[in-house]
Amino acid sequence: MKLVTWNINSIRIRLEHVQKLVSDHAPDVICFQETKVRDSLFPLEALQEMGYPHIHFAGEKSYNGVAILSKIPFSDPDALSWCAREDKRHSSVILENGIELNNFYIPAGGDEPNAETNPKFAHKLQFLDEMTDWCAKRFDADAKRIMVGDFNIAPLETDVWDHKKLKNIITHTEIEITRLAQLQQAGQWVDAMRLHILPQEKCFTWWSYRARDWLATNKGRRLDHVWVTPNLQDSVAGCEVLLDLRGQDKPSDHAPVLVTLTV
């Protein structure tokens, strides 16, 4: 099974890039974040015509929004709300092969890494805490689960272009990295990307629009993640960040992450 997670930053404006992803890599399942479209305007037919008859989406006007596209039939489509808000930051399905797939868009958190003065950062931390409680409560050693998405946190020193310069910048602060570790522990999640792209290697999935020459300067961060339960660890056959899609005309600021599983 080839699985992609991609913060698309508007699904409607980048349908051609989705088509390129499909033509070049033919993923079985694609998880999108930041679709930025209300459900009534979601381009369902166009995506189905690309070869994805099974689509679960949960969106809103302008902001957030997630979608799961699949060649594989699924059941139990769900979309949970977090932090008592109605923003669309989660969706899940159970694939026909029995694997539960969760797609998350964790809040970015604003600019100032102080939860007392910056409500966006407080929201991000609360969101992480709720996810941690949720994972702990429903933990099941026998369940086969995958959790993907734009987590908006780069935990390792090699997940950012300069650890020292970014250690007080949201996405790479100690407090976020600690919360993410607690979340990972609560579900015994395995970082599937880092099974194949070794932790000592730099690995980025996001480059700011503001940096010109994004590839040459390579001031990136690994904000997008694929986590699997331990019983799926040996099924993770490979991982690739699809840089060519970040290099298209009018790209998303995130590159897709492709993980191949032998399931």
Partner DNA sequence: ATGTCAGAAAGTTTCTGA
Residues that bind DNA (CB under 7 A): 9-10, 12-13, 34, 36-38, 61-63, 107-108, 110-111, 120, 152, 169, 208-210, 212, 250
User: Which residue lies nearer to DNA by CB, 187 or 251?
Assistant: 251
Q: Kindly state the smallest distance separating residue 172's Cβ from DNA, in Å.
A: 11
104: β partners: 90, 149
Q: What angle do CA 159, 2, 205 make, to 5 degrees?
A: 20
What tokens appear for 21 in the block?
Answer: 């992803």
User: Which residue lies nearer to DNA by CB, 61 or 138?
Assistant: 61
DSSP string for residues in 112-146 = ---TTT-HHHHHHHHHHHHHHHHHHHT--TT--EE
User: Which residue lies nearer to DNA by CB, 11 or 99?
Assistant: 11
What tokens appear for 104 in the block?
Answer: 């998350």
User: Which residue lies nearer to DNA by CB, 107 or 155?
Assistant: 107
**Cβ within 8 Å of residue 40, ≥6 positions away:** none
How far apart, in whole angstroms, are the C-alpha atoms of residue 229 and residue 187?
Answer: 7
Q: Kindly state the smallest distance separating residue 134's Cβ from DNA, in Å.
A: 20
Q: Kindly state the smallest distance separating residue 14's Cβ from DNA, in Å.
A: 7
